[in-house]
Structure 1
Amino acid sequence: MTTGTLKWELGETAYAVIGALKSGKTPLVALHGGPGFLGKSCATITGYAQKSDRPAVWYDQLGCGASSGLKEKPADFWQVDIFVKEFYELINHLGIADNFAINGHSWGGLLAAEIAITQPQGLKALILSSPLGDTDTWVAGVKELLAEMPPEISSVIIKHEEAGTTTTEEYMEAAFKFYDKHVIRVPMPPDLVEIFDEALADQNVYNSMWGPSELMCNGTLAGHVVTDRLDRIIAPTLIMSGKYDECMASTASAYLSGIKGSRWELFEESSHLSYVEEAAKYQRVMNEFLDLNC
């Protein structure tokens, strides 16, 4: 693995390259979730690509990790188009703009879709891994899942959201009970625990764009709609999500119906982190799709 830094008009973007980008196979660029969940959270996914001798890239999106934090910026600075521009700056810097694939997870899935909507000529394949879609649809789905939680958990969450006290320890403890069912259902590997801890220590971008937790969106992504433009995506597309995922069928099926020729792979034993929860299947499905298309 080699690391580097892209310097561009909005700041610095730190990235890692695994393998030789010009080795023959189309490089995979992995887009992390959050927003603000750190590029190294995608190291597992890029590692799967390497198992198929495919070069790969992950990077810290602006505002997190080793990239420019830009904490002096107001909350409304953090918009989707900034991250689309950052992606284009990066692939041009790396010299792969004419030949690349994308795997975006969660928020990174929405970002991947927004990039694909612009129809970049070099995009050979698109993977949307438990992707965020239309925010209102996503939040409605999360509320459905919350209603299925034990009352002693759901009532705490609802109480604090209505009172605006979502920074309390009681609220976060209840939120993490939800995460145990719908974000990751297996024990987290030590490296992922470290990533979560690091991301939780600096939630500026997450709070600005999303909100206080997965259960509430009051940031700049509130009301965001992508499904009305999915017909512009022309790259071969694979959608993946888990049976217990906070990315519910309502979101995944909207991508499926909106992107011509796309297919949807459901992971029966997974929630939001299927690349950890069903690692072997995820690696196989991802690499078979990529090898078929690029």
Structure 2
Amino acid sequence: MKSLLLSVSIGIGMFFSGSLFSSNNLNNTSSNTVIIQKKDSSKLKLRIYYIRHAEAGHNVKKEWGIYPESEWPSYVGDHSAFTPKGILQQSRVSNKLKRFHFDFVAVSPAWRCKNTVLPYLVDSKLRAEVWPELAEIYATSLIVSPDLPEHTSKEKILGSGKLIKLNTEEEAYFTLRKDGLNEFKKARFPKDHSESAKENAMAKVIIDKVLELIDDRSTSHKTILLSGHGSSGRAVLRMLTKDPLDGFPPITNTGIWMVEQQDDGTFKLKIFNDVPLSE
């Protein structure tokens, strides 16, 4: 029975991978617009890597919902604590990232994102810049819809949230931007996402800032690593590729995607969830 299940799992995996590789959405340049202009065609192509944080306590809260809270381990529901699986994932991140070379690293201010890449920063003697705009947000494929309305709130979003603080241990490996000392301010929307268009319009303001920051850093850095969350990671990927990613699975914990800038300035997805995509 175990061997049968293994064969079925492998078969499904091969079928799904094949579907991804042959997807026409992976390089839909006909609808792409140039997000970041290529500075100099003689230089190396710009590559953006993104890694989702290791599994944290909030990721397993639903799984533990069938048990009384009195029986929950202390990490369950905690955004700032890794699960046993997350600890194992974190322990493997440094070796995973060492396969690549990064000129620049930026992270979400969340504990789980900073600590996912911290072992790599320690081993590589690198420092990462905290980008508040990489914090978790709700965003769907609507974020790249041509019918998405403009964000019309009179409230300022960027830089209007809580002050970001680094503890003494973090200061050796993380820096704050002068214009990124505060988190962004999230507007309140219904929990059922019944105002999804407005939520996505707000998210676009935030992700547009991420693209602006990438553009700024790309003048001197050609391989950029971002460390963030599942939902915001898909939002950044959608905005870079102008692809709604229909049919794509979620970004796995510590899963990596990578896009490479093409000669026309658009971005093509090359890696998703650690799997290289065929041409």
TM-score, scaled relative to structure 2: 0.32
User: Over alpha carbons, which structure has the higher Rg?
Assistant: 2
Q: Which has the higher contact order (CA 8 A, sep 6+)?
A: 2
